[in-house]
Structures are given as structure tokens and as C-alpha cells.
Amino acid sequence: MNHIIIGTAGHIDHGKTTLIKALTGRETDRLKEEKERGISIELGFTYFDLPSGQRAGIIDVPGHEKFIRNMLAGVVGIDLILFVVAADEGVMPQTLEHLAILDLIGVKKGFIVITKADLVDEEWLELVKEEIKESVQGTFLENSKMIPVSSTKKTGIDEVIEEIDKLSNSIEQKDINDLPRLPIDRVFTIQGFGTVVTGTLLSGRLKVGDEVEIFPKSITSRIRNLQVHEIDVKEAYAGQRVAVNLSNVKKNEISRGDCLALTGTMKETMMLDVKVKLIKNLDRHIENRTRLKLYLGTDEIMCRMILLDRDFLEPGEEAFAQLRLEEKTVAKAKDRFILRFFSPMFTIGGGEVLVANPKKRKRYDENILEELSVKDEGSISDHIESLLKAEKDIFYNIKEISTELSLLEDKCLEEVKKLEIARKATVFELNREIYPIHETKLNELTKTITKELLEFHNKYPLRYGIPKEEIRAKYLGKNKQKLGDMIIDYLISQKEIKQYKDLLSLPDFTPSLSDEEKELKEKIIRFLETKEYNLTKIEEVFENNKSINKNKLEDLIFFMINTADIIKIADSYLISSNKYNDARSILKTYLLENEYITASTYRDLLNTNRKVAISLLEHFDQIKFTRRDGDKRYLIG
């Protein structure tokens, strides 16, 4: 069954509350001050059953301009509006402001109820109808039905109920399988139960026992009890007015404007990328960096509007902007909002959230404007793809995408699979976490790495390549190390690059020596072998070849180390491979015949000094050839 919320809107004292009482038999004004003054101050809530058997929630919003925040909190999640105009007064200032707000907030369904019709004659009523018709032109209420009623005499009420029932059948079903979100519009306590919050459940479902979080305050709790229309339920669904009894939370910790959702499913923000539209009848333009009041969900926040493609926004115009907030909030792409001046207080426009957790944007950046244009017109898949393309050196997993976009993980995975099938993304799995990487980013990463390798090969033609860890840290260092290694291994498997030992190079690169370099190589080997088992400092090799360019000589030494013609011990000592293999063989032979060896014994076997013996033994420990225990070494394996 589809769950619907009906709302009222219109000028103060035009009979909204009386109309609801005529429809439901219930009084929505509950405060003493409301009853004494005869006006609605706070939101009123009730429900009634339609002829079709469907139960509809109904929200009564205040009409006075001083309580516009309360009105804005009430229209969140409304499916159908009863737009109220009193026959004896006609269209008034708050009539027009409420109409502009409803249009900007994206309400699609509704009709007009002309109240107090019994107080005027037919001729006057026709004049009021014409005035209303002119006022709603170009809005969602254009061509909507007008029903004159007398709430006190109950005339026209049946026709109102019939129209509600008819329109309710055409209201789009809400996605109960989405992540649940409940913008909080009331907080109170009930003795014996504790803290209760209420709101309209915008999406998904909530269950008794769910672990929930109050955003953006990061307060965690558990649902102790749920009520829908004053009836205890085990589960509440999108489109219902819900009262949530929370455990271990105090009333003063929560306020209107907070949002209840499952733990960890939303991300707080101080900025929003938006598409904003000014109302047509505004008498001034809006400058870049204007300070405004933002109404988002049930929240009210001061912000500055940064226009991204112009310096002024004229009445009736639309533009991309970034709202920089003075307090934290949470939002989701496609959320609607209202903007108002705060002194004097009046509505200037509103719009739609495009990116709920953006970075600070530069103005007049064509790439940013193109990205926002895609998000403005695009589907969920487009939003995911756009996120995957962003942050060239950061890769998101499915859980992070889910939190960033406030989407179910299963929905994100479903969309990612579509991108994978379309060859727009490559999927990596690390410890059961799925990381989709967009082909654009993967291609850019490949180009960047191969470009650096090419430059390195040109500069150091005798070196086999750049250490793998150096490439990973430089280009993938903001991600988990294992993910970085996995991506590099993927590039190797695709033959974009190749690996030799711990070095990366281009696939077709192989260092080779000229005849002159071959002669120098043999000279170095002969020099090292004259040292027998005594280790030789690299500086000594440089000193023995002063006529050779030091950089060229250094490259040749790197080459010889990689080809194992010479062996590097510790950080700066060299030994010829022949002498190294002999030293290793002597050590192994001794340990096969004896349980262990000491540095002194090894020194004597090599006929060298203690420092050399210890350096070689520490090297063999490091490569897991031997194992040290105190001053003794044992053969491994």
C-alpha cells in the first residue's frame, strides 16, 4: 500500500485548521497559545481514512509569516497539498509565498480549497476564483481543481475528500527499500518511555530494534518503539508520519533540524553543491557571496551562496552554486531546499542539492560546471560514475560510495555492475570490500605511471626501473597499501608495465651495455675480487675509476647489482658475486657439519676481520638463510 502525506498551505486565518477538523473530526492546534489566539503556531498532525480504505497522514502548517520556519519544516515529505484561500479575503501575501515555496520544494500534486465560501455571494466567489487562477499560473497548481467549502457548515467537504482520494491513486510509490531518513520536526518526552522524535519518513523503513544515529550530532541510539498514527507498529515505511521512541538519548540532545537514519549511513557536511532558482516576482537580483538562510529538510542554517558561473542571479533565473554553511548538516542528492533573506525575512528562491559532500569549488571552472550539469540531469548511475571519476588519486569502496550518496550498498553494487558490464569501470576486491575504479581514472593513472617510467628510462638507461613501492606511494599513497599493490599488479597483468624483482619498467624496456660499459663492468668485478671477502665501500669503486663520469658509474653499479654480478651488503658495501657465493657456500658447509657458528669462527674461515664477518652474517640473517640466537647462527631449512 502506498502511504501518503497531505499538507495544507495558505495565508493566516484562512481556515486551514478548521478545514482539517471538518475532514478528520480532530483539532490539530494543541498549544494553549494557539487556542487562545486562534492561529496555528506549531505544526499540527492527524490522519483520516479515505473512501478507498487508505489511511492518510495530514499536516497543518502555520500561515503567519513569523512562523515560516515551522511551515517549511512541515512541507518536508508532503505528497499532496490542499492549497487554502479564504473566499472573503482572496489571495494574500502569505498565499503567494506559500505557493512559491511549494513550487520550489517540488510538490507535484494538489488542488485549491476556497474556504469560508458561505460568507460571500456567487459574484464575489467568481472574482476570487479568477484571482486564484491568475496567481497559480505557471505553477504545479495551474489547471488544478477549485472546491469552495464551508468548514463550519460542512458544505463541499465530501467533494474535497473525493478529490484527495482520486489524486492519491496517482502519487508515485516511495522506495521502501532505500536507506531510511527521518528529518526530525518534533522532540518531546513521555513519562515512562523517554525521548520521542517525530517526522515524515522520506524513504526506506525503520524497525523496532534498529541501531540509529542522529545526524549531524553523531548521537547513536536504538529504536525502542515506533508509532504510526498513534498505533504501535514493529515497522514503519516511507511516506508515513512516524513517532520514534529512542533509548539512552535525552530530549535536550536533539532538536528540530536533526535527521535520524541508520548508523553510519550519512555524512555531515559544511558545503552543498546546488542548482538554485530565484522566484520570478523578486524585486532585486542576488549577488555572489550573499548571506542567506537555508531551509533543508527540517533544518535552518545560515549560509553564503557562491555563484559558480556568474556574479549576479536575476529573478526567475537558475544557476549552479555552492552553499557554504555556518553549521554542519546532512543531505542527499535531489533533496529540495528553500533560501530566504534573514533581514528583512522573505523567500527569494530554492532549488535542488546536486552534491551533498563536495569540496570547495572554484568559480568559472568549466570542468566543475560540466560535472554539476551531469549530476543535475543524470540518474543514480550517473551520480555514482561522477563520484568514481572524482579525486584522481582516491578510490572509493562500495560502503564509502553508499555513505557519500546515502544509497543502499546493494543499490550501489547493482549500479557498479552495470558500469562494469559497459566497460566503464574495473572492479577490485580487497578483503571482501569492492572497489570500482572508473576506466577514465585507471587510464589516467596508467598514462601518468608510464610517462614517469619513460622519463626514468631515458635518464637512467642502465637501471631496470623505479621501485614498486615508490610508484605506489607517489600515485596511490592515499589508499590502502594492499589496494595500491593490487592496482599495480593489475597494470602488470594488462602488460601496461612490467616488474623485475622490486622494480617497475615499461614492458619493452631492457637495459643493455655498450662495449665500453662491458669493459668497465669487468674492471669493477676484477677490482672487487682482489679484495677477496673484504667488503668494499661504493666510494672506493668511484675512487678507483676517477676518469669515469660519476652518474654513469653509479648507473652501472645499479645495473650490476640488479643482474647479480655484484652483491650489495648493508647500505653501502659491495662484494663480487663469485666471492659472495663462496662465502655463502663456506657458511653452509660449516653449518651442515656443526650445529651453529659464531662471528669469530666465520671470521677465521674467511680469513678476514670481525666487522666483515658480522656484516655478512647479518645479511644472511636478513635474507632468511641463517637465524641468530644471541651470538650464535643456525642454518634455516
Note the pLDDT of residue 20: 87
- CA-to-CA distance for 500 and 614, rounded, in angstroms? 30
Which is higher by pLDDT, 17 or 39?
17
The answer to whether the pTM exceeds 0.85 is: no
Coil vs helix vs strand at 625: coil
Half-sphere exposure of 627 (CA within 13 A, CB side): 6
Please state the rounded mean pLDDT for residues 350-361.
92
Would the pLDDT of 43 be above 70? no
Of 218, 224, 221, 216, whose CA–CA distance to 190 is shortest? Answer: 224
- Is 598 noted as a catalytic residue in this protein? no
Please state the rounded mean pLDDT for residues 623-631.
93
Length of the chain, please?
637
pLDDT digit string, tens, across residues 394-441? 899 999 998 888 888 888 999 999 999 999 999 999 988 999 999 999
Note the pLDDT of residue 9: 86
Domain 4-168 CATH class label: alpha beta
Note the pLDDT of residue 118: 92
Do the bridges between strand 269-278 and strand 318-329 make them parallel or antiparallel, or are there none, so unpaired? antiparallel
Of 310, 266, 269, whose CA–CA distance to 288 is shortest? Answer: 310
Note the pLDDT of residue 38: 41
Q: Are 244 and 209 in contact (CB under 8 A)?
A: no
Would the pLDDT of 28 be above 80? no
Note the pLDDT of residue 68: 56
* Neighbour-count burial for 249-286, b at 16+ CB within 10 Å, e otherwise: beeeebebbbbbbbeebbbbbbbbbbbbbbbeebeeeb
- Marked catalytic residue, from 17, 198, 536, 608: 17
Confidence of residue 39 (pLDDT cuts 50, 70, 90): very low
Place of cell 569540496: 359
Q: Where are the domains of the chain?
A: 4-168, 181-262, 269-368, 378-512, 515-635
Q: What is the DSSP letter of 334?
A: T
Please state the rounded mean pLDDT for residues 611-628.
93
pLDDT digit string, tens, across residues 300-352? 999 999 999 999 999 999 999 999 999 999 999 889 899 998 877 888 999 99
Confidence of residue 539 (pLDDT cuts 50, 70, 90): confident
Instruction: Give percent above pLDDT 70 in the chain.
Output: 94
Please state the rounded mean pLDDT for residues 620-631.
93
Note the pLDDT of residue 62: 57
pLDDT digit string, tens, across residues 492-537? 999 999 998 899 999 999 888 888 889 888 999 999 999 889 898 8
- CA-to-CA distance for 226 and 469, rounded, in angstroms? 53
Mean of all residue pLDDT scores within the chain = 89
Residue 422 C-alpha from the chain's centroid: 23
Bond into 344 cis (ω within 30): yes
Strand order in the sheet with 109-115: 44-49, 55-60, 4-9, 80-86, 109-115, 146-148
Which is higher by pLDDT, 42 or 137?
137
Please state the rounded mean pLDDT for residues 53-60.
82
pLDDT digit string, tens, across residues 365-406? 998 998 899 888 878 888 898 889 887 788 999 999 988 888
C-alpha separations of 240 from 57, 275, 424 in Å: 7, 28, 38
Would the pLDDT of 36 be above 50? no
Would the pLDDT of 37 be above 50? no
Note the pLDDT of residue 30: 45
Of 356, 348, 360, 308, whose CA–CA distance to 328 is shortest? Answer: 356
Confidence of residue 543 (pLDDT cuts 50, 70, 90): confident
Do the bridges between strand 4-9 and strand 55-60 make them parallel or antiparallel, or are there none, so unpaired? parallel
- Is 16 noted as a catalytic residue in this protein? yes
Indicate the residue type of 143.
N
Task: Quote the radius of gyration of the chain (alpha carbons, Å).
Answer: 37
Cβ neighbours, 10 Å, residue 470: 14
Confidence of residue 584 (pLDDT cuts 50, 70, 90): very high
State whether CATH 1.20.1280.50 applies to domain 378-512. Answer: no
Note the pLDDT of residue 72: 64
- Is 17 noted as a catalytic residue in this protein? yes
- Marked catalytic residue, from 3, 11, 14, 16: 16
- CA-to-CA distance for 515 and 125, rounded, in angstroms? 106
Q: What is the CATH number of domain 269-368?
A: 2.40.30.10
Q: Are 538 and 574 in contact (CB under 8 A)?
A: yes
- Is 13 noted as a catalytic residue in this protein? yes
- CA-to-CA distance for 568 and 576, rounded, in angstroms? 9
- CA-to-CA distance for 245 and 231, rounded, in angstroms? 13
Of the options 3.30.110.40, 2.40.30.10, 1.10.150.120, 3.30.413.10, the CATH number for the domain spanning 181-262:
2.40.30.10
Instruction: Give percent above pLDDT 90 in the chain.
Output: 59
- Marked catalytic residue, from 3, 8, 11, 13: 13
- Marked catalytic residue, from 64, 480, 523, 588: 64
Note the pLDDT of residue 64: 42
Please state the rounded mean pLDDT for residues 212-239.
93
Confidence of residue 284 (pLDDT cuts 50, 70, 90): confident
Domains 181-262 and 515-635 share a fold: no
Which fold, 515-635? Arc Repressor Mutant, subunit A (1.10.10)
Do the bridges between strand 80-86 and strand 4-9 make them parallel or antiparallel, or are there none, so unpaired? parallel
Please state the rounded mean pLDDT for residues 76-82.
84
pLDDT digit string, tens, across residues 590-617? 999 999 999 999 999 999 999 999 999 9
Do the bridges between strand 146-148 and strand 55-60 make them parallel or antiparallel, or are there none, so unpaired? unpaired
- CA-to-CA distance for 139 and 136, rounded, in angstroms? 5
CA atoms 246, 251, 254, 257: torsion sign:
positive
Would the pLDDT of 74 be above 70? no
Of 300, 243, 269, 236, whose CA–CA distance to 73 is shortest? Answer: 300
Please state the rounded mean pLDDT for residues 44-54.
82
Please state the rounded mean pLDDT for residues 273-297.
92
